[in-house]
Amino acid sequence: MNRTWKQSLMTIPGVGVSLLPKLACPFCWPAYAGLLSSVGLGFLISTRYLLPVTAAFLVIALGALAFRANRRHGYGPVVLGLFAAVGVLVG
């Protein structure tokens, strides 16, 4: 029972991120600027830092997909994630 409680607690960050304003909305940029500035990360809004930070997080995500991939679902998700990461960076 304790393990189920901890697993449900781990969904809270995902729900919180889904409730954040999306980047496609031009009215949401002030919300992002305020949120990042309030924790001292306002410089990340600049395009100078946005590409390297995005690339770093994509590498972390690909690393998580590749970690023990042969024991889980194989390398198909890793390849799909690689194509998706390239699409995000090119887009």
pTM beyond cutoff 0.95: no
From 21-30, 45-54, 80-89, the region with the lowest mean pLDDT: 21-30
Q: Where are the alpha helices (DSSP H) in 10-75?
A: 12-19, 29-38, 47-66
Q: Please write the tens of the pLDDT for every residue from 8-44.
A: 777 777 766 666 655 566 777 777 777 777 877 766 6
- The pLDDT assigned to 83 comes to 92
| Burial tier of 65 (Cβ tally within 10 Å: 0-12, 13-18, 19+) | buried
Look at residue 16 and give its three-state secondary structure: helix
Domain residue ranges in the chain? 1-42, 46-91
- The DSSP code for 84 is H
